[in-house]
Amino acid sequence: MNNNTEKINEILNIFGDKSRKAYVRSFGCQLNVSDGEKIKGLLKKMGFSFTEDENSADLIIFNTCAVRESAEDRVFGIIGSMKKLKELNPSLIIGISGCMTAQGHVAEKIRKSYPQVDFVLGTSAINALPGLLLDCLRGRKFAADISEYDDFSETAEQVRENPFKASVPIMFGCNNFCTYCIVPYVRGRERSRMPQDIISEVTQLVNDGYKEIMLLGQNVNSYGNDLSGEMSFPQLLRELNDIDGDFIIRFMSSHPKDASQELIDAIFECEKVAKHLHLPVQSGSSEVLMRMNRRYSVEKYLDIVDSIRSRDPEFSLTTDLIVGFPDESDEEFRSTLELIKQVKYDNIYSFIYSKRSGTKAAEMHDAVSAEEKSCRMRELLELQREITTEHYKRFIGRKMRVLADDVSKKREGFLTGKSNEFIIVEFEGDKSLIGQFVDVEITDAMNWAVTGKIV
Ligand code: SAM
Ligand code: SF4
Ligand code: F3S
């Protein structure tokens, strides 16, 4: 860190009185967005203010995602379009960080084919940003650091995007190696943060007025496995629930193979923990789950669902699904449709399988055409729309506690927010309520939200 202090001071000296603006854009999951907030924290120390307009920026950082090919293509398209901006402003500095940079072939492609990029910053190397920037300011053509700095997260200051909702990573990396997934290759092995550090951070956030705390990890249920049994995730939930203050605790993602009875008990017994579980199933076929290396069967998954719904038949569940995994048969796909009919999710996040080089699934035979995969996706989405419309009706007449989030983009005079159950709620209300909890009586249900009146 001392090393960085010197570099930061040198950068501040180079800039002098001149104001500097940075444009930082994060793609992908909330863990990456959280990294983007840490990048901004470092930039703030280096004297940068922030802009939402890349045309007025002195520094641009794209914090990238590699989970699907479409995500990468989008970033390559955007980097390509930066060439013009760089021609107009040769002193502009452009950096690429995040998961794309951790794949050797991608980092090489950036270096070779996109000369407008000045530096590449690896997923565990955010701490190297001042050094890289200094290199660029001293005229170096291309700088890169993809080393791992373990100490960084506990010392990082963040520029948080939202004044009342905060993301708190509780662990980094993933050990699961689902055969389709690039994350373990670009984020490394699981590392849990110390419980005391998480509890202190959440306590501070609550004291600062944050109302929603989102705990993040690729599999929060394996939190603590690397801490010699110091604390499990359900225990951590109970500790955080004991912090004084009016706030809600959410978490994601929860791997079904590690979802325990203790977790379910903690959700029901902790009043500040949201009554919602995001439980990614990925497929409704046990054969496909095996090929995905998910390490649970559909039966085991349904046991967890039953255990939750036996305590609250209307408990809100959401999931992630992959359509068109290599050689997914029509029958296997139909099992997924059956599963979503049976579980009745409030929402699903579904993705067409994307081949990621370096993963096991990339080597698997795949006879399913792209057209067939799109067809299946449409069928799945159509079914889920019907389920959501029907299922949301259970909320009509109920009172929901909602954290008002923003003004509605669809209806003048309306606000939008998320209920405790993670349902989008629209209601008439004044902007001054944004960032506060309100009670809303639900009067109508649509296929993407429910509406109601403040009571
Ligand atoms: N760790 C989380 C879990 O296991 O549920 C998932 C994190 S991943 C970033 C988010 C979602 O992206 C996954 O649940 C999966 O549905 C989807 N995904 C991951 N790799 C994919 C791929 N190669 N093609 C399509 N979807 C993918
Ligand atoms: Fe990817 Fe599986 Fe890890 Fe989730 S648990 S990040 S899907 S490898
Ligand atoms: Fe994407 Fe990396 Fe997250 S691959 S989904 S940004 S961990």
Give residue 404's identity as a one-letter amino acid code. Answer: A
* Nearest Cα residue to 159 out of 269, 328, 36: 36
Question: Position of tokens 């705990």?
Answer: 215
Q: Which atom of ligand 1 is nearest to the CA of 254?
A: 5
Around Cβ 54, how many Cβ atoms within 10 Å? 17
- The highest-level CATH class for domain 162-274 is alpha beta
**What pLDDT digit, counting tens, does each position of 354-404 carry?**
999 999 999 999 999 999 999 999 999 999 999 999 999 999 999 999 999
- With a 6 A CB cut-off, is 65 part of the ligand 3 pocket? yes
What residue type is 147 in one-letter code? S
CATH topology agreement for domains 3-145 and 396-454? no
- Helices 2-15/129-137 angle, 10° precision: 40
CA-proximal residue: ligand 1, atom 4 (nearest): 255
User: Is 218 close to ligand 2, i.e. is its CB under 6 Å away?
Assistant: yes
Which residue owns the Cα nearest ligand 3 atom 3? Answer: 29
* Total-model pTM: 0.96
Omega prior to 253 cis, within 30 of 0: yes
**Residue 204 alpha carbon to ligand 3 centre in Å:** 27
Say yes or no: CB of residue 286 within 6 Å of ligand 2: no
Determine phi and psi for 325, rounding to 5 degrees. -60, 150
Residue-level pLDDT at 1: 47
Contact 273, 311 (CB under 8 A): no
Length of the chain in residues, anyone?
455
> Which residues lie below 8 Å from residue 6, measured CB to CB, with a gap of 6+?
none
Q: What is the number of the ligand 1 atom nearest to the C-alpha of 361?
A: 23
Q: Is 76 exposed, middle or buried (0-12, 13-18, 19+ CB in 10 A)?
A: middle
Residue 121 backbone phi and psi in degrees, to 5: -120, 120
- What is the Cα–Cα distance from 94 to 406, expressed in whole angstroms? 32
Beta bridge partners of 25: 62
Helices and strands of the chain, counted as H and E runs: 14, 19
Residues with Cβ within 8 Å of residue 122, at least 6 apart in sequence: 97, 101, 102, 128, 144, 145, 146, 147, 148
Instruction: Give the ligand at the shortest distance from the Cα of 32.
Output: 3
- Judge if the beta carbon of residue 253 lies within 6 A of ligand 1: yes
Q: Are 106 and 66 in contact (CB under 8 A)?
A: yes
Q: Which CATH class is domain 287-394?
A: alpha beta
* pLDDT confidence of residue 146: 82
pLDDT for the residue 155: 78
Residue 318 tokens, joined: 């959401």
Q: 77, exposed or middle or buried, with CB in 10 Å at 0-12, 13-18, 19+?
A: exposed
Regions of the chain short of the pLDDT cut 50: 1
pLDDT of residue 229: 77
Q: Which helix (H) or strand (E) holds 186?
A: helix 183-187
C-alpha of residue 317 to centroid of ligand 3, in Å: 22
Q: Are 172 and 188 in contact (CB under 8 A)?
A: yes
Whole-number Å distance between alpha carbons of 212 and 24: 23
8 A C-beta contact, residue 336 and residue 322: no
Give me 435's structure tokens: 């960032």
Domain map (residue ranges) of the chain: 3-145, 162-274, 287-394, 396-454
| 370-392 helix and 330-343 helix, angle to the nearest 10 degrees | 10
Cα angle 370, 374, 380; round to 5: 145
Beta strands in 122-172 (DSSP E): 143-145, 165-169, 171-172
Domain 3-145 falls under CATH 1.20.1090.10: no
Torsion, Cα of 230, 235, 236, 237 (10° steps): 170
Distance 328 CA to ligand 3 centre (A): 24
In angstroms, what is the span from residue 32 Cα to ligand 3's centroid?
Answer: 6
Nearest-CA residue for ligand 2 atom 2 is: 178
* Other Cβ atoms within 10 Å of 10 Cβ, number: 16
Whether 63 lines ligand 1, by a CB cut-off of 6 Å, is no
Alpha helices in 228-343 (DSSP H): 233-241, 261-269, 286-291, 298-309, 330-343
Compute, in angstroms, the gap from residue 71 CA to the centroid of ligand 2.
17
396-454: CATH topology:
OB fold (Dihydrolipoamide Acetyltransferase, E2P) (2.40.50)
> For residues 191 and 226, is the Cβ–Cβ distance under 8 A?
yes
Q: Which residue has the tokens 């019907």?
A: 386
